[in-house]
Amino acid sequence: MSDSNYNLFWTETLRQLKEDGRLSNQEYDMWFRNTEFVRGNDHSLILSVPSIFYRDQVQQRYIVMLESTLQSLSGSTISIDFEIEKNSPSKNKQSDALIEPPLPSPDKTKKREPHSQLRQEYDFKGFVIGNNNSFAANAAQAIGSNPGGAYNPFLIYGGVGLGKTHLMQAIGNTIHFNMLDKKVVYITAETFINEFIHSIRSETQSRFKNKYRKVDILLIDDIHDLQNKKETQEELFHTFNALYDAKKQLVFTCDRPPSELRNFADRLKNRFERGLNVDLQPPNFETRYAILRKKLETITIPIPDEVLEFIARNVTTNIRDLEASLTKMVAYADLVSKRITVEVAQSQLKNSFSANLTINITIDRIQRVVSEYFNVTPGDLKGKKRTKQVTFPRQIAMYIIREITDYSTTEIGLEFGGRDHTTVMHSCQRIEDRMKSDPTLEPTIVGLIRSIKEVG
């Protein structure tokens, strides 16, 4: 078979994945527009990618899906391998920057004071990178070295305490200290709302506009707080356009993907989705342990490695809870003057462990785990399909959400395509009834809940 035939298989693979929704347009543009077919044979298909980072991301995110689709098209098992294309000065500069983004050299003749709105300790050196956040961290460093470039706007989303604000402010600090001609402004969405309201009441709207439309880097934290704030959304929309058109960098954080924002102007959501959206997941065990080791570097009180490992294995929610547990152990050792052991940690932290079991478990996370298990998409769960292949996983997801979270049936229904709360109640009852007659169902649900709670 000639290379042209294998190229057709590759092209058709991408077409099918896009057509059935498993590969979004944004994912295609991000990971496959710069991926090129090189050659193929009966056993493998070789693709050219811009960088090692691209290769690793495609392998981690899509390789199983790609090879499975390729096999169904070709009728044989064909593995996908990669070649890193040779450096080209005119192609994919930003992609290569993600591997090891070169930070600009500061002007040694000038010294800049810390930024009044940014926490100085929030820098890239203090951010522990793991599998849960490597994409976001590398992208943030690339933006720190080249603001207003390819990744604009940049939106980081995820649960509480996963490092969104740290990464955002690390971008701001990097630019502030290394690019002295750049004006950086950091603000929370709540403060933006309050300042906007004050400007209307005091008739100082022009001053407000000038403050935010004449900056080089605008960092806005927690944009989900803008839900239901129509006038403030309108103002941010115009501020966004003014800065984007001037090639100024915009960075946002949110507790969910832009598509899931409620009572939010579509045209503003579209602006957020125009650039790069990345999610932060809870850290796996290795990353949690590394975070504790990093935190311990600033603490003089010794904490044994086995205690750090104990904390890392039991606090699986977020970085904030992880550091809080370590702080409690340090305070205990300092105040009681007692050596910290695993037994002491177990006694002192048992309430914290039980309180953190279900925190940070979002509906989105449950939908993703369930859809992956049943080989459907999260979009299927939220959509209008009523086939058995989709209805049953949808009911399972609703039941699990009701069991392990505090979301109301109304809130659950909204996250499943705006369904009525009675539909949620009916779905949960169907699963309860089925568990009584199907002995295999309860272990399946227990296993899914375990997967949802586990990290890494």
pLDDT digits (tens, 9 = 90+) for 238-285: 999 999 999 999 999 998 888 878 889 999 998 898 889 888 887 888
Would the pLDDT of 179 be above 70?
yes
In this structure, how many other beta carbons lie within 10 angstroms of the beta carbon of residue 407? 19
- The residue extents of the domains of the chain are 3-84, 134-280, 285-355, 363-453
pTM beyond 0.85: no
What was the pLDDT predicted at 303? 86
Of 192-196, 232-236, 361-365, the one with minimum mean pLDDT is 361-365
Tell me the CATH architecture of domain 134-280.
3-Layer(aba) Sandwich (3.40)
Residue 52 pLDDT: 66
Q: Residue 92: what pLDDT?
A: 39
CA distance 69 to 353: 42
pLDDT confidence of residue 97: 36
> Is there a contact between 189 and 220 (Cβ–Cβ < 8 Å)?
yes
Predicted pLDDT at 439: 77
pLDDT for 450 beyond 70: yes
Whether 49 shows a pLDDT value over 50: the answer reads yes
- pLDDT for residue 101: 45
Q: What SS3 class is residue 157? A: strand
Q: How far is CA 88 from CA 51, 96, 156, 181, 291, in A?
A: 11, 10, 30, 30, 37
The per-residue pLDDT for range 206-243, each reduced to its tens digit, is: 999 999 999 999 999 999 999 889 999 999 999 999 99
Q: What is the mean pLDDT of residues 371-399?
A: 90
Between 197 and 87, the more confident residue is 197
In this predicted structure, what is the pLDDT of residue 2? 65
Reported as a pLDDT band with limits 50, 70 and 90, residue 374 is confident
What dihedral do alpha carbons 304, 308, 313, 318 form, nearest 10°?
A: 170
The CATH number of 285-355, from 3.40.50.11740, 1.10.287.990, 1.10.8.60, 4.10.520.10, is: 1.10.8.60
Judged against a pLDDT cut of 50, whether residue 53 lies above it is answered with yes
Q: Which listed CATH number (3.30.70.2860, 3.30.70.3450, 3.20.20.70, 1.10.1750.10) goes with 363-453?
A: 1.10.1750.10
- pLDDT score, position 100: 40
More confident residue, 50 or 382: 382
pLDDT value for 351? 67
Q: How confident is the model at residue 31 (pLDDT cuts 50, 70, 90)?
A: confident
What element of type H or E holds 456? none
Distance CA 143, CA 381 (A): 35
Least confidently predicted of 44-48, 92-96, 304-308, 327-331: 92-96
Amino acid, res. 142:
A
Instruction: Pick 314 or 173 by higher pLDDT.
Output: 173
pLDDT digits (tens, 9 = 90+) for 114-124: 999 999 989 99
Q: Which CATH architecture has domain 3-84?
A: 2-Layer Sandwich (3.30)
DSSP 422: H
Task: Give the H or E element holding residue 293.
Answer: helix 285-296
List beta partners, residue 39: 46
Q: What is the pLDDT of residue 353?
A: 63
**What is each CA distance from 326 to 98, 119, 295, 302, 352, in whole angstroms?**
32, 21, 9, 11, 11
Cβ pair 156, 136 in contact under 8 A: yes
Return the amino acid letter for 278. Answer: V
61-75, 92-106, 369-383: range with highest mean pLDDT: 369-383
C-beta of residue 126 within 8 angstroms of C-beta of residue 156? no
pLDDT for residue 107 is more than 70: no
Question: Taking residues 143-152, what's their average pLDDT?
Answer: 89
Range of lowest pLDDT (50-59, 149-158, 300-309, 334-343): 50-59
Range from 98-112, 172-186, 386-400 carrying the lowest mean pLDDT: 98-112
